């Protein structure tokens, strides 16, 4: 299908009148034209998806509400991946192009779709009946076809919208026109394979003008990013297009004495009480790890992220990040600590009811209870929404019965409270708070792992386990939002924690290089060793700066939220967590891969001694490998980054087109460059400004 600018303008007019529509399109033609238009809430356009994993990751990032339109997708696995993702995201319908009607194709697709078959969909030959069924269910239908009339259904404000993009004219136009209950008919030029809706502009009322943008940076011509809701913090991703230094940045100099004291407490605890028992920890001595976590609770290290109202300290994300970094000297312990304070506790902090918070948070903050997060399943890793754990509501509506198996659950061996994800009625992905004493709950044996050997990693097994209905966390069918947003926090803190271990590796390598002598002098005097040390320090400095800058943005955004409001938790998620999805994925990738690089170079600097357990580099080298796998693999995060970026550009949240126009002007005329910032770093500042373009 050839999509022209005029066609896109017409679609823009259609969507601008609605504020509840996101669109996901797999059309390379749309991709080429899309960025010139701004939609009411946004339209993410991607090239034809060729990998199932890419399709699901992109859909997970853009979370379309109503529409998935497939244009000549030839691989059933790809279509199945889109179906499963759309199913988990509560998309209302999926419609397939004519090329998907072959019986063998259908059979293969049914295998790949799995439980997503329950999602309404339409095969091309059956479109008339299918569209009638969708209309009867309350859908409004908009049909856009390349070879005939364009039919626009009358759209009531609360209608659910289905957008049909047909790539082949034969057999589509007439059934669609019949089913769409058209109110407006727009003629296209005969023989032109395009959508020409511009001619209808004079016959329709003008679309509402987009809301004005609030400039982020004062320099005219450079990008300006709007901050929704008047947030003082720079929006996520704005650093891509805003001038260097356009917004204040948190640095290590901004920590208070109290912040540094918390960090010192964490580091001294690990050095004095955890590392001396490392051999016992890695041998999985019974009861040792939970005892250490409870001891950390006595020192106040488990209550940093819990609001004061529920027995915590309610400290800033920058403080929490600093404590995580300083406590990362022993990964077996820090992984368990992070699983408790982060992904184990924060779901209740952000999404729990008042009763749930009062019941669980004081115990979690003190260490009386320990927590775990149960999302992954044997057949659902990166494809988290394909999980098979089921939750069935008993007659009377007071209890759910959960059945399923969760895989690789950190802290499973001793956790008192699990955040468990299951599907209600077979398709509504939902989070539950499940206590360890629940009948039917058990765990498998400990996994024997390459690294983080001292942490507890087991299966969580649920066999018809009764869970009271008041333990549902958040809303039924909205568990994917909890899962993805809590993982954002996990990624963000994992990236920073990795830098703590990397600093330890650099410190060991530097001290060794100064003391080790070869050829009559310290090896630190050789250029090749100096190069290694410099490269390690450079990457650590970059990752460290990225981490605390992002944490500072989260704190600024959180400061704008009324923490006493009933919905404070969810607002914090939207403004201080979800807003920085892009940064969380970048930090996860860069931080974990920085640790891998530094551990490898440190081991190489130590030579044969680095390969022995006499030095901590050997342990850091083993422990670091898992970081690129859990909290979303680095491959998945590399897909999330461009998908999130494209969505926000389409929504007008990142003014990328204005930025590119200014770059073009600056390329032609140097006089249009922003004025240099005076000071000792003027050259570096200008270089960074040019590099960003």
- Exposure letters 648-666 (e unless 16+ CB within 10 A, then b): bbbbbbbbbbbbeebbeeb
- DSSP single-letter state for residue 432: E
Q: What is the mean pLDDT of residues 288-298?
A: 96
| Cβ contact 292:273 at 8 Å | yes
Nearest CA to 21 out of 139, 176, 117 is that of 139
pLDDT more than 70, % of the chain: 66
Answer yes or no: is pLDDT of 491 > 90.
yes
- Taking a C-beta distance cutoff of 8 angstroms, is the pair 6, 197 a contact? yes
The secondary structure element, H or E, covering residue 127 is: helix 127-136
Number of CB atoms found within 10 A of residue 309's CB: 15
DSSP state of 341: I
Confidence band of 689 (pLDDT split at 50, 70, 90): confident
User: For the chain, what percentages of helix, strand and coil (3-state, to nearest 5) are there?
Assistant: 50, 15, 35
Q: What is the pLDDT of residue 581?
A: 94
Task: Output the six-digit token pair for 364.
Answer: 């979690």
CA separation for the pair 162, 676 (Å, rounded)? 50
- pLDDT, tens digit, 9 for 90 and up, residues 191-210: 222 222 222 222 333 333 33
Contact (Cβ atoms closer than 8 angstroms) between residue 109 and residue 73: no
Residue of 34, 9, 32 whose CA lies nearest to 23: 34
Confidence of residue 244 (pLDDT cuts 50, 70, 90): confident
Q: Which residue has the higher pLDDT, 263 or 182?
A: 263
| Helical (H) or strand (E) element with 95 | strand 93-95
Q: Which of 693, 652, 547, 686 is nearest to 249 (CA)?
A: 547
Residue 161 token pair: 């919208």
Would you state the structure tokens that stand for residue 178, as one six-digit string?
């019949």
At 164, is the secondary structure helix, strand, or coil?
A: strand
Predicted confidence (pLDDT) at residue 160 exceeds the cutoff of 70: no
DSSP 100: G
Q: What angle do CA 235, 237, 240 make, to 5 degrees?
A: 125
Task: Read off the pLDDT of each residue in 533-545 and give the average, rounded to a whole number.
Answer: 96
Measured between alpha carbons, how far is 107 from 120 in angstroms, rounded to an integer? 17
Per-residue pLDDT, 136: 61
For residues 292 and 224, what is the distance between their CA atoms, to the nearest angstrom? 49
Core vs surface per residue 503-519: b (16+ CB within 10 A) or e: bbbbebbbebbeeeeee
Residue 522: its pLDDT value, please?
97
What is the secondary structure of 393-430 as a DSSP string?
EPTTSSEEEEEEEEEEEETTTT-SEEEEEEEETTTEEE
pLDDT in tens, 123-133: 444 445 555 55
Burial of 178 (0-12, 13-18, 19+ CB in 10 A): middle
- Whole-model pTM over 0.75: no
SS3 at position 43 = strand
Confidence of residue 67 (pLDDT cuts 50, 70, 90): very low
Greatest alpha-carbon pair distance for the chain in Å reads: 90
Q: Tell me which residues are annotated as active site.
A: 631
Q: Say whether pLDDT at 246 is over 60.
A: yes
The Cα 529–Cα 639 span in angstroms is: 35
CA atoms of 306 and 314, how far apart (whole Å): 5
Q: Which residue has the higher pLDDT, 622 or 155?
A: 622
Digit-coded pLDDT (tens) for 9-34 = 444 454 444 444 343 333 333 333 33
The two tokens of residue 181 are 């209950």
Whether 271 has a pLDDT exceeding 70, the answer reads: yes
pLDDT digits (tens, 9 = 90+) for 360-391: 999 999 999 999 999 999 999 999 999 999 99
Higher pLDDT, 550 or 683: 550
Work out the average pLDDT over 496-509. Answer: 96
Reply yes or no on whether the pLDDT at 483 is more than 70: yes
Residue 87 is predicted with a pLDDT of: 52
How far is the C-alpha of 546 from the C-alpha of 540, rounded, in Å? 10
Cβ atoms 557, 542 nearer than 8 A: no
């Amino acid at each position: 299908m050839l999509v022209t600018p005029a066609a896109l303008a017409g679609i823009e007019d259609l969507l601008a009148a609605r504020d509840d529509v996101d669109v996901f399109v797999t059309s390379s033609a749309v991709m080429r034209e899309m960025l010139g238009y701004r939609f009411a809430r946004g339209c993410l356009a991607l090239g034809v998806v060729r990998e199932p994993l890419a399709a699901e990751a992109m859909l997970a990032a853009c979370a379309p509400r109503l529409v998935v339109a497939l244009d000549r997708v030839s691989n059933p696995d790809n279509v199945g991946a889109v179906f499963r993702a759309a199913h988990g995201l509560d998309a209302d319908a999926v419609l397939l192009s004519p090329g998907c009607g072959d019986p063998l194709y259908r059979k293969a697709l049914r295998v790949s779709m799995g439980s997503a078959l329950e999602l309404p969909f339409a095969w091309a030959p059956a479109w008339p009946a299918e569209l009638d069924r969708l209309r009867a269910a309350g859908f409004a239908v908009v049909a856009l076809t390349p070879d005939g009339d364009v039919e626009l259904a009358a759209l009531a404000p609360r209608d659910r919208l289905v957008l049909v993009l047909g790539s082949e004219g034969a057999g589509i136009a007439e059934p669609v026109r019949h089913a769409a209950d058209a109110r407006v008919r727009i003629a296209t030029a005969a023989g032109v394979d395009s959508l020409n809706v511009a001619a209808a502009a004079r016959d329709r009322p003008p679309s509402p003008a987009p809301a004005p943008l609030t400039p982020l940076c004062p320099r005219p011509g450079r990008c300006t990013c709007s901050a929704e809701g008047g947030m003082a913090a720079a929006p996520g991703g704005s650093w891509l297009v805003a001038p260097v230094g356009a917004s204040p940045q948190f640095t290590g100099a901004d920590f208070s004495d109290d912040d540094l004291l918390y960090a010192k407490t964490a580091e001294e605890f690990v050095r004095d009480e955890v590392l001396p028992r490392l051999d016992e920890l890695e041998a999985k001595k019974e009861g040792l790890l939970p005892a250490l976590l409870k001891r950390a609770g006595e020192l106040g290290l488990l209550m940093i992220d819990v609001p004061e109202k529920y027995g915590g300290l309610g400290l800033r994300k920058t403080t929490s990040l600093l404590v995580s970094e300083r406590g990362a000297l022993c990964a077996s312990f820090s992984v368990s600590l992070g699983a408790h304070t982060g992904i184990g506790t924060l779901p209740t902090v952000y999404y729990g009811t008042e009763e749930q918070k009062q019941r669980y948070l004081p115990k979690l903050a003190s260490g009386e209870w320990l927590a775990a997060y149960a999302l992954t399943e044997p057949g659902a890793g990166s494809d988290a929404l394909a999980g098979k754990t089921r939750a069935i509501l008993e007659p009377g509506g007071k209890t759910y019965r959960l059945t399923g198996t969760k895989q690789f659950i950190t802290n499973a061996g001793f956790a008192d409270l699990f955040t468990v994800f299951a599907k209600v009625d077979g398709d509504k992905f939902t989070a539950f708070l499940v206590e360890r004493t629940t009948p039917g709950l058990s765990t498998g044996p400990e996994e024997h792992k390459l690294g983080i050997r001292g942490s507890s990693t087991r299966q969580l097994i649920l066999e018809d386990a009764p869970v009271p209905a008041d333990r549902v966390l958040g809303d039924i069918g909205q568990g994917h939002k909890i899962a993805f947003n809590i993982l954002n926090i996990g990624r963000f803190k994992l990236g920073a924690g990795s830098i703590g271990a990397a600093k330890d590796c650099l410190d060991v390598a530097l001290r060794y290089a100064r003391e080790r002598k070869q050829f009559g002098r310290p090896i630190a005097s050789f250029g090749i060793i100096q190069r290694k040390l410099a490269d390690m320090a450079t990457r650590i400095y970059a990752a460290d700066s990225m981490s605390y800058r992002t944490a500072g943005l989260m704190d600024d955004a959180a400061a704008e939220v009324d923490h006493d409001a009933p919905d404070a938790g969810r607002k914090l998620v939207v403004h201080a967590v979800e807003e920085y999805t892009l940064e969380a994925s970048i930090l996860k990738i860069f931080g974990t891969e920085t640790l891998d690089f530094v551990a490898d170079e440190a081991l190489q600097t130590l030579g044969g001694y680095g390969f022995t357990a006499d030095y901590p580099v050997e342990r850091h080298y083993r422990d670091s490998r898992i970081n690129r796998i859990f909290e979303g693999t680095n491959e998945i995060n590399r897909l999330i980054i461009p998908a999130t970026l494209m969505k926000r550009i389409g929504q007008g949240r990142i003014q990328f087109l204005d930025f590119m126009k200014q770059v073009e002007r600056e390329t032609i005329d140097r006089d249009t460059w922003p004025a240099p910032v005076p000071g000792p770093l003027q050259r570096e500042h200008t270089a960074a400004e040019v590099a960003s373009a």
